[in-house]
């Protein structure tokens, strides 16, 4: 018997503009440059403004804001151009064939993003510019596939969420929620990408990564596949006798399968990011100017983009019949919309990063004035509340971005830590506690290393009210062994 029922539920979905902005926010400047160069190759309506042109256009400080103000009377153009970081709704104004395209497309030559020029950025252990990155390698393969626009969007989202080891860093459910796509479609695109070179990329677990490689490279190795599928826990713990008994095979059979498995790559992303990891290019610099601090954003190498009017006009004017004209208008409309979203998202990204950095400097002023020992407890929510943004937005901004200060170069995440209350009533960052534990261990006798209780007692005398188990937790987080393993004969 069929029962009909109504159910009211709330779902949070990001618009395409928000998805694009979110993906740009989490990229460090070097990766942003690479992504934009890929976008330029794929969207003929985007072009790069060269240095000479920029110097002759200094009277326009911010082309995006000026363009939006000029087009306030054109609702459709505003809908295409405007991206709000807190926006939740989808694009309004449904598409119609009788749109006045000359009005929409006729005045785009100045619609561009231009970052301030900056030659002060320092590069630490300079990266070789010719090395292809993993995202570049995967995006090239993605755009060679026969996929529709939605599947390309899913593929790009997946690729920009692959970590340095080559694993997918977010769940399929989250991708589905953010893009408003079905799980089936996301899984389909994920399976396609997992067969790219290097095989096994974008796997969610080590088990899935190894299985993909075995099935793709040589599906005849049935025993190796069976071991990974059904005995993975025993395999990782090297319980070979147990595997032999469970599968009713000999140890020689297992050895042959192991020879095949050990040829697989458990970290398919390794190698592509190595040069990047060795190069720390600060995204920001905090300079001290008397009693004030000045924040400089190093994005001068980010391509300066604008709409390519010549190509747009050629497409619209060279159509030979109505069908071609309609197809040309549809192509131009999609590429124009994509170009505007990208240009505006770059602008929003820049403003958001600056706002986050300004709030960090304000909250951690003692650190910037006096050094690391004066860092204060601070969590993502503190900054999110200060600037009126989501915690997830602040998290994206602080992940993988570096700032150059007079005290060294730090990842923005460094400034966030939990706090402990001292005996004096002051709140102390756990980074300061960890630093002090490290100093105590460095000064201990190698023949009589201090145990956790002794370290806790020393901290207590210094007004740090820390329990022995807290010392043990911090020590383990710093990957320092227990006292008996630190003893030297």
Contacts of 382 (CB under 8 A, 6+ apart): 363
Q: Which tens digits make up the pLDDT trace of 464-477?
A: 888 899 899 889 88
User: What confidence tier does 52 reach under pLDDT thresholds 50, 70, 90?
Assistant: low
Q: What is the mean predicted confidence (pLDDT) over 67-79?
A: 41
**Cα–Cα distance list, 118 to 60, 173, 344, 376, 434 (Å):** 17, 41, 21, 31, 37
Q: What is the pLDDT of residue 26?
A: 83
Rounded Cα gap, residues 114 and 62, in angstroms: 7
> Of 124-128, 158-162, 268-272, which one has max mean pLDDT?
158-162
Global pTM?
0.53
Where do the DSSP E strands lie in 381-424?
Answer: 402-405, 408-411, 419-421
Query: What one-character DSSP code corresponds to residue 445?
Result: B
Q: How many residues does the chain have?
A: 489
Query: What one-character DSSP code corresponds to residue 133?
Result: P
Q: Which tens digits make up the pLDDT trace of 203-260?
A: 999 999 999 999 887 666 788 999 999 999 888 877 888 999 999 988 888 888 888 8
Q: In whole angstroms, what separates CA 3 from the centre of its chain?
A: 45
Query: What one-character DSSP code corresponds to residue 230?
Result: H
Domain 419-486 is in which class? mainly alpha
31, 135 contact by CB (below 8 A): yes
Predicted confidence (pLDDT) at residue 359 exceeds the cutoff of 50: yes
pLDDT-above-90 percentage for the chain: 25
Residue 265's closest CA among 327, 329, 212? Answer: 212
Predicted confidence (pLDDT) at residue 23 exceeds the cutoff of 80: yes
Cis preceding-peptide flag for 198 (omega within 30 of 0): yes
**Cα–Cα distance list, 336 to 26, 81, 140 (Å):** 24, 9, 22
Q: Which residue has the higher pLDDT, 103 or 331?
A: 331
DSSP assignment of 236-259 equals HTT-HHHHHHHHT--HHHHHHHHH
Domain with CATH 1.10.10.60 in the chain: 419-486
Both tokens of residue 465? 């009210």
pLDDT-above-70 percentage for the chain: 74
Angle among Cα 7, 12, 16 to the nearest 5 degrees reads: 130
């Amino acid at each position: 018997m069929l029962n009909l029922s109504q159910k009211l539920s709330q779902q949070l979905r990001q618009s395409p503009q928000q998805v694009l902005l979110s993906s740009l926010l989490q990229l460090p400047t070097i990766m942003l440059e690479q992504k934009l160069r890929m976008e330029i190759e794929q969207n003929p309506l985007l072009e790069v403004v060269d240095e000479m042109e920029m110097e002759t256009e200094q009277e326009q400080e911010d082309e995006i804001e000026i363009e939006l103000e000029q087009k306030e009377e054109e609702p459709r153009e505003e809908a295409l151009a405007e991206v709000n970081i807190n926006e939740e709704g989808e694009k309004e104004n449904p598409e119609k064939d009788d749109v006045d395209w000359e009005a929409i497309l006729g005045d785009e030559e100045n619609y561009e993003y231009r970052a301030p020029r900056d030659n002060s950025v320092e590069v630490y252990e300079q990266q070789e510019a010719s090395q292809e990155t993993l995202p570049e390698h995967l995006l090239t393969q993605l755009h060679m596939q026969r996929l529709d626009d939605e599947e390309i969007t899913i593929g790009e989202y997946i690729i920009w969420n692959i970590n340095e080891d080559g694993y997918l860093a977010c769940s399929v459910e989250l991708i589905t929620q953010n893009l408003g796509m079905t799980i089936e479609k996301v899984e389909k695109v994920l399976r396609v990408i997992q067969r790219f070179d290097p095989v096994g990329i974008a796997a969610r677990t080590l088990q899935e990564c190894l299985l993909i490689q075995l099935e793709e490279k040589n599906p005849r190795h049935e025993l190796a596949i069976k071991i990974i599928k059904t005995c993975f826990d025993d395999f990782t713990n090297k319980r070979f006798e147990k595997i032999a008994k469970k599968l009713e095979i000999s140890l020689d059979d297992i050895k042959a399968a192991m020879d095949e498995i050990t040829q697989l790559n458990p970290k398919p992303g390794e190698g592509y990011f190595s040069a990047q990891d060795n190069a720390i290019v600060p995204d920001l610099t905090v300079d001290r100017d008397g009693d004030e601090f000045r924040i400089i954003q190093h994005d001068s190498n980010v391509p300066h983009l604008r709409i390519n009017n010549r190509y747009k006009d050629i497409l619209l004017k060279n159509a030979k019949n109505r069908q071609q004209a309609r197809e040309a208008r549809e192509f131009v409309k999609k590429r124009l919309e994509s170009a505007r979203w990208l240009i505006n998202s770059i602008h929003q990204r820049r403003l958001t990063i600056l706002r986050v950095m300004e709030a960090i400097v304000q909250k951690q002023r003692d650190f910037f004035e006096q050094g690391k020992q004066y860092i204060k407890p601070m969590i993502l929510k503190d900054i999110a509340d200060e600037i009126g943004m989501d915690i997830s937005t602040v998290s994206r901004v602080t992940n993988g971005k570096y700032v150059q200060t007079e005290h060294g170069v730090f990842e923005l995440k460094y400034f966030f830590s939990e706090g402990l209350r001292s005996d004096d009533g002051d709140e102390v960052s756990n980074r300061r506690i960890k630093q002090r534990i490290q100093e105590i261990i460095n000064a201990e006798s190698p023949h009589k290393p201090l145990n956790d209780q002794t370290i806790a007692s020393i901290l207590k005398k210094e007004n740090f009210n820390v329990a022995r188990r807290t010392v043990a937790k911090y020590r383990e987080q710093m990957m320092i062994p227990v006292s008996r393993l630190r003893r030297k004969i």
